[in-house]
Structure 1
Amino acid sequence: MVRNGLMWMFLIIGTMIGAGYASGREIWEFFGAESGLAIFLFTVLFIICCYVVMHISFKHQSVHYLPVLHILMGKRISKLYDVMIMVYLFSTTVIMLAGGGATLEVIHLPFWAGVVILAAFVVVLFIWDIDGITTIHTVITPVLILALVGVLLAFQSLHGFPLHFIEGNQSNWPSSLTFTALNILPLISVLGAIGQKIKQKGEILIASIGSGVILGSLTFLYNSSLLEVANELVVYEIPLFAILQHYPYYMVLVMSGLLWVAIYTTAASGVFGIISRIRGYIQSPAWMLALLLVAIMAPLTMFGFSTLISVLYPLYGVLNLYLLSSIILYPILNHRTIRNKLE
């Protein structure tokens, strides 16, 4: 139980820690000053969301996210979110492929070569189907977390551990809602696909509480570190590099490599979510479906997606608040049913 619980925990964390999170950009956009309470609320909300989604997925033995959506908001509205999730997964995976190409330009590889390399890694991963995606997260995610924690703790020690928790009026607490809401779609797409793989309810507790506590703690530590270099962040596209500016150059290279790994895990999770949804319509091995998807996506990396994302992300943020409220209200509206099942 513990082993499987930890495996799902790392799958959740690996899905969350994409390039945006690992680089610090996503954290700085949502949090910043007066965010101690916001990060605490995010931790609680995230634990609740993971538990509810995994509980529904396990109860209905789902192999993709649609049954979870049906339970949370009914069949009519879930059709809208079904389309949203597919568009979200497709667009973010295209951006990850483009990001992989841009990242490898640092070592003087052509952009297209970087895209092909990342796409090839994604396809190879799906030779092992769902076992491949869970294994890669179980192996890579702890390394990524340890590297980030190590860098951030070393940075904090240089500044006397100025951890910013309760200060000011904590006016940024609403960011906990939008930050959680924006991360709901990939979470449901992945957790909705593992219902048949969960063996015991204890795995759900370990995965949801463990991932929430680790992500909340890491977010707090990262945000506190970014506050120390807040005046310099306007110069850096990647906030993490503002923290690394006083480190040796090899550290920048190491963390750039880890950012590429974060891009890889995000791209793999996106493809996994799409494959789990379309498998009922296309009967093919997972690696062939992955190959088909990246073949369609690769040419699209040559175009600019900033306009697309500037339109989609605010839309997701608003619409996802409804989904977030549905998840939070689910235990309240169904507490009698859940209690009877537990008794």
Structure 2
Amino acid sequence: MVVDGLKWMFLIIGTTIGAGYASGREIWQFFGHESGLAILIFSVLFTISCFVVLTISYQEKTENYSVVLARLMGPRFSKGYDVLIIVYLFTTTGIMIAGGGAALEYFHVPFTAGILFMCALLFIVSIRGVKGLTGLNSFLMPVLIISLILTLTVYFRLNADFSFSNWVSQRNWASSFTFTSLNLLPLVAVLSTTGTQIKHRGEIWIASIGSGSILGSVSFLYNESLLAAAEDIMLYEIPLFALLESYPHSVTAFMAVLLWTAIFTTAASGLHGLSTRLRSMLDMPSWLLAVLLLCLMLPVTELGFSRLISLLYPIYGILNLYLLVVVLIHPFFLSKRL
């Protein structure tokens, strides 16, 4: 039970820590100054959201998100959000591919070549389905999390100046709702494919609490570190590199590799969630569907990584607020069935 719970926990973290999050661009977009309380609220909201989605998926033995959406908001509204999720997964997976190309530019790999390389690997993982995805996340996520925490901790201790005395007067707490709602759609899409593989309800508790606690802690540490480097962030496409400016080249290169893996795992999660939904609607082999989707995503990557995040993420965060409200009130109805 514990091993399986950790497996789902790493799937959740791998789905959330992508191009926007791992690079720092997403955290800087939503948080920033006076955001300690907002990040704490996000951690709680994220934990509840994961628990609700996984529980519905476990009860209904789902293989894609359509049944979960119908349980949450009824057949009428679920159809509208079904379309929104398809558009969201399509565009954000394109953002991840663009982020992968941007990360490889650190190693002097041309942007286009980096994108094509990422698409080839995404095609291979998509053929293996959810087993390939969970295996990938179980291997990569612990390394990424530990390395990111160590890097941020060192930078935080040397550069940041934080005090708990200003938490009461913080005014950015509302961003916790839009940040959670932004990350909710990929969670619904990906976690809804696990319903037939969850064997015990204890796995849900481990995955939900573990992922919420880890992401909340890393988000807080990341945000405080970015605040200390606020003057340099605008000079970088990827804010993480602003924090790594004073590190040895070997450390920066290692973190660039880890950043790319985070981007890749989120892109793989998005492509998997999109493919499983479309396969229930289209009579098409999985490999052909993956090729078609990747080809259609290539034009999206031309808009650039930071531009896509600054334009689309706030819009999706607002549009998903209704889904977040529905998820948060669902436990009151869910408790009657447990």
> Matches of 1:233 and 1:98 in 2, distance apart?
19
The code of the aligned residue for 1:93 comes to T
Q: Give the CA deviation at 1:26.
A: 1.1
> Matches of 2:111 and 2:237 in 1, distance apart?
19
Q: Does 1:142 align with 2:142?
A: yes
1:180-228 superposed Cα distances (whole Å, 9 cap, x missing partner): 0111111100011111111110000000000000001111111121222
Once superposed, what is the RMSD of the aligned Cα atoms? 2.1
- Matches of residues 8-87 of structure 1 in structure 2 within 5 Å? 8-87=8-87
Q: Does 1:182 align with 2:182?
A: yes
The code of the aligned residue for 1:105 comes to E
Q: Corresponding residue for 1:167?
A: 166
Cα distance change, pair 222–98 in 1 and its aligned pair in 2 (3 A): closer
The code of the aligned residue for 1:179 comes to F
Q: Give the CA deviation at 1:62.
A: 0.5
Q: Give the CA deviation at 1:51.
A: 0.2
The code of the aligned residue for 1:250 comes to S
The code of the aligned residue for 1:145 comes to I
The code of the aligned residue for 1:154 comes to V
Q: Does 1:331 align with 2:331?
A: yes
Tell me if structure 2 keeps the 8 A contact 1:36–1:166.
no
Cα distance change, pair 101–33 in 1 and its aligned pair in 2 (3 A): closer
> Matches of 1:206 and 1:185 in 2, distance apart?
21
Greater displacement, 297-306 / 32-41: 297-306
The code of the aligned residue for 1:91 comes to T
Q: Corresponding residue for 1:92?
A: 92
Q: Give the CA deviation at 1:288.
A: 3.8
> Matches of 2:284 and 2:198 in 1, distance apart?
24
Q: Give the CA deviation at 1:241.
A: 1.8
In the alignment, structure 1 segments of 5+ residues that lack a partner are none
- Matches of residues 101-116 of structure 1 in structure 2 within 5 Å? 101-116=101-116
The code of the aligned residue for 1:7 comes to K
Cα distance change, pair 140–297 in 1 and its aligned pair in 2 (3 A): same
Cα distance change, pair 291–101 in 1 and its aligned pair in 2 (3 A): same
Tell me if structure 2 keeps the 8 A contact 1:37–1:165.
no
Q: Corresponding residue for 2:251?
A: 251
> Matches of 1:284 and 1:192 in 2, distance apart?
21
> Matches of 1:131 and 1:164 in 2, distance apart?
44
Q: Give the CA deviation at 1:307.
A: 7.5
Tell me if structure 1 keeps the 8 A contact 2:2–2:206.
yes
Q: Corresponding residue for 2:198?
A: 198
Cα distance change, pair 287–138 in 1 and its aligned pair in 2 (3 A): farther
With normalisation by structure 2, the TM-score equals 0.93
The code of the aligned residue for 1:35 comes to S
With normalisation by structure 1, the TM-score equals 0.91
Count of residue pairs the alignment pairs up: 337
Cα distance change, pair 181–120 in 1 and its aligned pair in 2 (3 A): same
Tell me if structure 1 keeps the 8 A contact 2:126–2:271.
no
Cα distance change, pair 103–49 in 1 and its aligned pair in 2 (3 A): same
1:237-272 superposed Cα distances (whole Å, 9 cap, x missing partner): 322122111111222222222221122112101100
Cα distance change, pair 3–25 in 1 and its aligned pair in 2 (3 A): same
Q: Give the CA deviation at 1:60.
A: 0.4
The code of the aligned residue for 1:261 comes to T
- Matches of residues 123-134 of structure 1 in structure 2 within 5 Å? 123-134=123-134
- Matches of residues 228-243 of structure 1 in structure 2 within 5 Å? 228-243=228-243
Tell me if structure 2 keeps the 8 A contact 1:85–1:189.
yes
Cα distance change, pair 197–242 in 1 and its aligned pair in 2 (3 A): same
Q: Corresponding residue for 1:274?
A: 274
Greater displacement, 131-140 / 293-302: 293-302
The code of the aligned residue for 2:138 comes to T
> Matches of 1:108 and 1:87 in 2, distance apart?
32
1:85-127 superposed Cα distances (whole Å, 9 cap, x missing partner): 0001111112222232333333333333212210111111133
> Matches of 1:318 and 1:259 in 2, distance apart?
27
> Matches of 1:311 and 1:26 in 2, distance apart?
11
Tell me if structure 2 keeps the 8 A contact 1:36–1:164.
no
The code of the aligned residue for 1:5 comes to G
Q: Give the CA deviation at 1:55.
A: 0.5
> Matches of 1:192 and 1:249 in 2, distance apart?
41
Tell me if structure 1 keeps the 8 A contact 2:58–2:196.
yes
The percentage of counterpart residues that share the same residue type is 53
* Secondary structure in 1 matching 2:203: helix
